[in-house]
Structure 1
Amino acid sequence: MKIVPVPCLEDNYSYLIIDESSKEAAVVDPVEPQKVLQAAHEYGVHLKLVLTTHHHWDHAGGNEKIKQLVPGIEVYGGSVDNVKGCTHPLQNGDRLSLGSDLAVLALHTPCHTRGHISYYVTGKEEDVPAVFTGDTLFVAGCGKFFEGTAEQMYQSLCVTLASLPKPTRVYCGHEYTVKNLQFALTVEPDNVRVGQKLSWAQHQRQAGLPTIPSTIDEEMETNPFMRVDLPELQGRVGCQSAIDALQEIRRQKDNWRG
């Protein structure tokens, strides 16, 4: 399995997921199809699937165009998300295959949108699994609760995604990491791992490099939205439960001007 980030727009990421045995590829959220096709050409791969995380234009807005450019490409998206150009609506737990070695599992991770899908990809035994989380899980953050509740985001982050193997690489939809870690320090100023990762992320960005991927393990240590089960974090934000803490941290982040 090879994963190629394709920076798009101002701070979005599309991704090529390549099955190296067959040279077949899927693309996650190809909002700028020409950039994606250029990357596919550079790596000598054939695009077979579009994996759409959610219906927002900066993720699904290139689907119709890529269907024109790659006749026969299959476009996947959440069945209740009204994804542009979708040919194959997905339910939680649906499975796809890519090439000869890769398997894709659709995980319903709602809240940012009602039908948001994260894609968990596994390959050969030596391949580290990967998850493409769109705008549900960011590095050190999560998406705004546009179409859902704190209960849904808790389920998506702290149950569904947190249950993936700890080494799973996390590829999210936007480059928001530096700001997210700066905010995370306001929630947990004594979290040494947050400070260390912030310093690393700032160096990455100064060098023009991405801060993805993270891992599920790193998120459990540095992402306040995935740490709301900890009583000490609940106490810091004046809450008695994980879901109340998640709601409160989201409220603080929405109002934060870092």
Structure 2
Amino acid sequence: MHIQSIPMWEGSGNNYAYLVTDDKTKDSVIIDPAHPPEVLPVLDEKTSSGAINLTHIINTHHHHDHAGGNSEMLKHYPLPIIGGRDCSFVNEVPPHKDNFNIGSIKVTALHTPCHTQDSICYFMEDGDQRAVFTGDTLFIGGCGRFFEGNAKEMHRALNEVLASLPDDTKVYPGHEYTKGNVKFAKKVDPEGEAVRKLEEFTQKEKETQGKFTIGDEKKHNVFMRVNDAVIQKSVGETEPVEVMRALRQMKDNM
């Protein structure tokens, strides 16, 4: 499995599209190609050289900065679109825990409603390689705003659905928000060793996608530590959903 990140709107939205290719068959998908002017040159070079066989467009949720490029993409690559039910031009909405394949890569669709009600994360396995594409549900060191959902839903998404993935699963989020997430985490857990290590990484590296795993997130992501006494004390709550609610309110008010 080969994963190529394609930064979009760098300096403003700091989005990522992802080109995922099965090394064996060259079958590929493009995830969240929201800004075609930055995505199409990459795809055109790869397809024209025969390096990939693009089979699908995949969306994590319907927001414009994730699915808004679908119309333009279809003019160049008239392919089926897999995504949440509200994504523009979507053809296939895989049920929760449904499986499909990209060549020899096994993909599991994980419904994670909260940021939007149609949010889907995609867990991919190829031999001993594991990756999850989380859109705006899980960021490195953070999570998405509760635009269409609530704390209970995000707690389930992060701490039941995604936390159940193997710890070595690499995380590929929809945005590069890690520096801001570290700033908040330091307020909640100022003495945390894992948070300090994440901060050190962000001081050296501009991009963090694919550099951290689900196991790492359980250590440095305060939204995945709602049962941690340190986090509970910081927010003044002990019930996990209430801890999640308090964390998000604090982050939104930063």
Give the alignment's TM-score, normalised by structure 1: 0.92
Among 80, 83, 95, the residue aligned to 1:74: 80
| Residue 211 of structure 1, aligned match among 186, 208, 230 | 208
Structure 1 residues 24 and 35: CA distance shift in structure 2, 3 A: farther
How big is each residue's C-alpha offset from its partner over 1:107-132, in whole Å with a ceiling of 9 and x where there is no partner?
Answer: 00110001100000111x23x20000
The one of 74, 83, 88 equivalent to 1:84 is 88
2-structure distance, mates of 1:49, 1:221: 34
State the identity %: 40
The 1-side partners of 2:54 and 2:33 are apart by: 11
- Residue correspondences, number: 246
Q: Is 1:159 paired with 2:195?
A: no
Structure 1 residue 238 corresponds to structure 2 residue 236:
yes
Q: Distance in 2 between matches of 1:232 and 1:197?
A: 18
Aligned to 1:98: 102
CA distance in 2, matches of 1:30, 1:169: 20
Aligned partner of 1:170 in structure 2 is: 171
Q: Does 1:47 align with 2:45?
A: no
In the alignment, which residue of structure 1 is the partner of 2:15?
12
Displacement, 1:202? 1.8
- Runs ≥4 residues deviating over 6 A: none
Q: Deviations over 1:13-51 (max 9, x none)?
A: 000010111111111100122432322344421211111
Q: Distance in 2 between matches of 1:105 and 1:179?
A: 30
For normalisation by structure 2, the TM-score amounts to: 0.94
Secondary structure of the residue aligned to 2:6 is strand
Specify the alignment match of 1:112 in structure 2: 115
- Work out the CA distance in 2 between the residues paired with 1:241 and 1:235: 11
Question: What is the distance in 2 between the residues matched to 1:176 and 1:39?
Answer: 23
Stretches of structure 1 lacking an aligned partner (at least 5 in a row)? none
Match of 2:138 in 1: 137
Task: Give the conservation status (yes or no) of the 8 Å contact 2:189–2:230.
Answer: no
Shift of 1:193: 1.4
2:250 matched residue in structure 1: 252
Distance 2:81 2:38 in 1: 18
5+ residue gaps, structure 2: none
Work out whether residues 49 and 74 of structure 1, in 8 Å CA contact, stay in contact via their aligned partners in 2. Answer: yes
